[in-house]
Structure 1
């Protein structure tokens, strides 16, 4: 655990040193990404969703969980999971603004957690469907309770691991944006990216969360950045962005978030 914290701190310092703002962006696409998505996300909030986030962080119900990686059972409170696993409000707002800016109608997510990001992604008016894949039955059920309060008509959870259900769902859903936030291992992340690229003709953007969570995640991101199929990749530290339909010489940017 300590080594992971040190790894993230070292990479955060590198990120801060390399990150640029709009003054360094000559591409109109990136300039708009910064000013219409990244910058507004600092203040934009969905108050009804943030109310649900607060309720989750104060819910001390204990739930039984199963770790697919270590094959162990353990118990945690909903509040402790919410405090450590949910994205920041700024990042949730970023997902909303990105989807709104790109005029996306169909979204896919891996790793529902308690559904806060899912609700933000379902929020833009043009979005008509968000399909979220979650491996844990108990976590899925808690997320569905949140969806029953807001935007239930737009959202569906498919329970299962990405290895078991993702390819079929991509073929069925044909998402325009995919948010990868489930299994934080190199092979799983690359599997998700390859499945999306192989089976979704409509994909515009892939967002990979926690690219500096561990050396494994960082290695996955490094491989993606160097992939010649992707002309534009963007590092926000909290996430990496792959824009799949941009016609430009291959470039990579690190932007202040």
Structure 2
């Protein structure tokens, strides 16, 4: 744990040193992305979804879970899952604003967790559907309860692993944006990205969460950045953004978030 903490701290300090802000961006696309999405996410919130986040963080119900990687059962409170697994409100707001800014109508998510990010991504008026995959049946059932309170008609959740469900689902749904936040291994992320490129010609943006989760994830993200097919990639530390279909010379940016 100490080694992992030092790894993330070292890379965060490097990120802070490299990251640039609004005045370093000359491309109109990047200027608007920073000004209307990244910068605005600091203050934007969906209060009805934040109310659900607060309720989840106060829920002491104990649930039985199964760790697919460790092959063992364990118990946790919903409160502890909410405290450790949910994105910060600023990042949830970023997802909403990015989807709204790119005028997206169909969204894909891997790793539903308790459903807060799904609700944010379903929030923009243009969004017709959010398809989301969650490996844990009990976690999926809790997320469904949140969806029943807000925007249930826009969100469909599939219970299963990315390896089982992802390819067939994206072929069917043809998402324009995909948020990858399930299996935090470079191999699993590469699988998702490859499927998106092969099956979704109209994909506008791929969001890879937790690119500094581990050395494996960091190396996997760097491999994606180096691909010539991805002309624009962005490092926000919390996530990496891939824009596969930008008509521009290959560029990579580290932006202050």
What TM-score do you get using the length of structure 2 for normalisation? 0.99
Which residue pairs with 1:225 in the alignment?
225
Displacement over 2 Å in runs of 4+: none
Superposed CA offset, 1:164-187 (max 9, x none):
110000100000000000000111
CA distance in 2, matches of 1:32, 1:145: 36
Q: CA deviation at 1:221?
A: 0.5
Q: CA deviation at 1:202?
A: 1.6
CA distance in 1, matches of 2:242, 2:77: 34
Q: CA deviation at 1:11?
A: 0.7
DSSP 3-state at the match of 2:187: helix
Q: CA deviation at 1:73?
A: 1.2
CA RMSD of aligned residues (A): 0.6
Which residue pairs with 2:147 in the alignment?
147
DSSP 3-state at the match of 2:5: helix
Superposed CA offset, 1:117-165 (max 9, x none):
0000000000010000110000000000000000000000011100011
User: Structure 1 residue 185 and structure 2 residue 185: aligned?
Assistant: yes
Which residue pairs with 1:211 in the alignment?
211
Q: CA deviation at 1:216?
A: 1.2
User: Structure 1 residue 52 and structure 2 residue 52: aligned?
Assistant: yes
Superposed CA offset, 1:180-225 (max 9, x none):
0000011111111111111112211000100001111101101110
Unaligned runs of 5+ in 2: none
Which residue pairs with 1:246 in the alignment?
246
What TM-score do you get using the length of structure 1 for normalisation? 0.99
Q: CA deviation at 1:68?
A: 1.2
Number of residue pairs the alignment of both structures matches: 257
Which residue pairs with 2:99 in the alignment?
99
Superposed CA offset, 1:26-70 (max 9, x none):
111100000010011000000000000000111011111111111
Which residue pairs with 1:61 in the alignment?
61
CA distance in 2, matches of 1:219, 1:137: 31
CA distance in 2, matches of 1:18, 1:236: 11
Unaligned runs of 5+ in 1: none
DSSP 3-state at the match of 2:149: coil
User: Structure 1 residue 121 and structure 2 residue 121: aligned?
Assistant: yes
CA distance in 1, matches of 2:252, 2:84: 30
CA distance in 2, matches of 1:145, 1:242: 32
CA distance in 1, matches of 2:225, 2:200: 20
Matches within 5 A, 1:80-91: 80-91=80-91
* Worse-superposed segment, 213-222 or 113-122: 213-222
DSSP 3-state at the match of 1:52: helix
Which residue pairs with 2:109 in the alignment?
109
User: Structure 1 residue 37 and structure 2 residue 61: aligned?
Assistant: no
Q: CA deviation at 1:16?
A: 0.2
Which residue pairs with 1:159 in the alignment?
159
DSSP 3-state at the match of 1:63: strand
